Amino acid sequence: MAVRALVFDVFGTLVDWRAGIAAAFRASGVSGDPEELADAWRARYRPILTEVNDGARPWGNFDELHLATLDDLLGERGVDLPSDRRHRLVDAWHRLSPWPDVRAGLEALRRGRVTAALSNGHTALLVDLARHGDLRFDCLISAELAHVYKPAPAVYETGARLLGVDPAELMLVAAHPWDLQGARAAGLQSAFIDRPLEYGPGSPAREDPDATESVGDLHELAARLAP
Amino acid sequence: MAVRALVFDVFGTLVDWRAGIAAAFRASGVSGDPEELADAWRARYRPILTEVNDGARPWGNFDELHLATLDDLLGERGVDLPSDRRHRLVDAWHRLSPWPDVRAGLEALRRGRVTAALSNGHTALLVDLARHGDLRFDCLISAELAHVYKPAPAVYETGARLLGVDPAELMLVAAHPWDLQGARAAGLQSAFIDRPLEYGPGSPAREDPDATESVGDLHELAARLAP
């Protein structure tokens, strides 16, 4: 089936959260290895989304969830940090830089097809990230519109519905096999993009043998999808 | 209160629906004055939205509502037109050209503030219009996300919520006093933009004395809002 539209995961797939969050920890005055702190904060991401999806926790947007996981992390480590500095760390998720191929790669892909973000991040956060990185999408689609987080099928289905395409005509581009698997379970096509530095130089190798496409960057994807 | 974000009505405010729809009628084989047919079709727009908002008619997106009002119009005039030609007319609403100031004016306004479409049109339609006119928004917000049509307050409130701003920090830009009045009722600021050719050379004069700003085009608005 032809790919009529592309949707993109954002954190890790398009933007380098680790470098931005490590820099924010470095500026925060919190002692310890900034990269390790970034990884430890991010490690609390999927568990808290699962709590929300399971109904064990009320809905919260990423600012609220990031603050909750930061409070947990700092509490566990006995770090005392004033509220305004915690909020500055939470705000750092709004100003993350894209991977080097992303700005031009999105432009190339947008020439041929409708392109949209499809992220668990809330709309206002996605707006800030797109403006910060000068990333152009046709549309931003947040999990908040489905009121449930990826990999719940409703998020991918919401993307297809809003873009007016059949799920089978929609392709998710992501660096995370769990996300691509969620997309396939909702009937979407999937493209794995390798981001070998998402967790720094020692990142675990990833692959997704079930993905329709498997590429090293967005330019390679544009070439593969060219008519 | 400072304006942190701008939302834009689309049909009539940013794009010239009348020229595009008249051209589509001209190509359709329907006899009669194409401009008059465009006006007569558009005249059925607000009444059918009111039916939806009142619960007298189930939710329908603009493709569905445009088809229903076209069927009514052609039926009333005894025009026989095959289904594929009706659909071509409905599709013409996806390819309307912007007024001359819009592309560059949106860019200028986007430099200083978050900018989003806030339209009764469905998301897929807004995507097509933005791509057709090469219009860049930070975000597209459709009434379909609120499942009710402007001027219902929920649409404007949805815009503020998704953009993460207080309604009082959000300004609607529109050519239609009824829309601006709806925005004000939801606590937004409002900017009237004069589109004296929306209904062709004989358009009725409009003004909105209650609007915060009243301008002739988007460049004038950018100058007014400059810090």
Contacts B142 to A, Cβ<8 Å: 162
Residues B10 and B27 in one domain: no
Q: Given a cut of 80, is residue B227 above it in pLDDT?
A: no
Expressed as residue numbers, the domain containing A209 is 5-16+96-225
* Greater model confidence, A145 or A226: A145
Concatenating the DSSP letter of every residue in chain B gives ----EEEE--BTTTB-HHHHHHHHHHHHT--S-HHHHHHHHHTTHHHHHHHHHTTSS----HHHHHHHHHHHHHHHTT----HHHHHHHHHHTTSPPBPTTHHHHHHHHHHHSEEEEEESS-HHHHHHHHHHHT---SEEEEGGGTTS-TTSHHHHHHHHHHHT--GGGEEEEES-HHHHHHHHHTT-EEEEE--TTTT-TTPPP---TT-SEEESSHHHHHHHH--
User: What does pLDDT average to over chain B?
Assistant: 97
Instruction: Note whether B139 contacts A123, CB cutoff 8 Å.
Output: yes
Decide if B186 contacts B167 (C-beta within 8 A).
yes
pLDDT at A207: 96
How many domains does chain B fold into? 2
Mean pLDDT of the region B126-149: 98
Tokens for B187, please give them.
């606590």
Residues A43 and A105 in one domain: no
Q: How far is B149 from chain A (nearest CA, A)?
A: 16
Mean pLDDT of the region A20-37: 97
**Domain edge (last residue) among B58, B92, B126:** B92
- ipTM score assigned to the predicted complex: 0.96
pLDDT at A227: 77
* Angstrom distances, CA of residue A89 to CA of A12, A21, A35, A41, A49: 18, 7, 14, 11, 19
Contacts B138 to A, Cβ<8 Å: 127, 130-131, 140
Nearest CA in chain A to B110: A131
CATH number for the domain that contains residue B101: 3.40.50.1000
Interface of A with B (CB under 8 A): 114, 116, 122-127, 130-131, 136, 138-140, 142, 144-145, 162-165
Phi, psi of A180 (to 5 degrees): -65, -35
Residues B209 and B105 in one domain: yes
Cα separation, A27 vs B105, in Å, equals 38
Mean pLDDT of the region B100-115: 97
pLDDT at A161: 98
Residues B123 and B80 in one domain: no
Mean pLDDT of the region B199-216: 95
Q: Given a cut of 90, is residue A155 above it in pLDDT?
A: yes
Give A29-88 pLDDT, tens digit per residue.
Answer: 899 999 999 999 999 999 999 999 999 999 999 999 999 999 999 999 999 999 999 999
Give A167-193 pLDDT, tens digit per residue.
Answer: 999 999 999 999 999 999 999 999 999
Nearest CA in chain A to B142: A162
Residues B100 and B204 in one domain: yes
CATH number for the domain that contains residue A85: 1.10.150.240
Residues A78 and A148 in one domain: no
Decide if B115 contacts B86 (C-beta within 8 A).
no
**Domain edge (last residue) among B92, B108, B137:** B92
Residues A150 and A42 in one domain: no
**Domain edge (last residue) among B92, B121, B141:** B92
Residues A108 and A127 in one domain: yes
Contacts A142 to B, Cβ<8 Å: 162
Torsion angle of alpha carbons B174, B175, B179, B183, nearest 10°? 40
Active site residues of A: 9
Residues B85 and B106 in one domain: no
pTM here is 0.97
Other C-beta atoms within 10 Å of B66: how many? 26
Residues B87 and B131 in one domain: no
Torsion angle of alpha carbons A30, A32, A36, A41, nearest 10°? -30
Residues A68 and A103 in one domain: no
Residues A85 and A196 in one domain: no
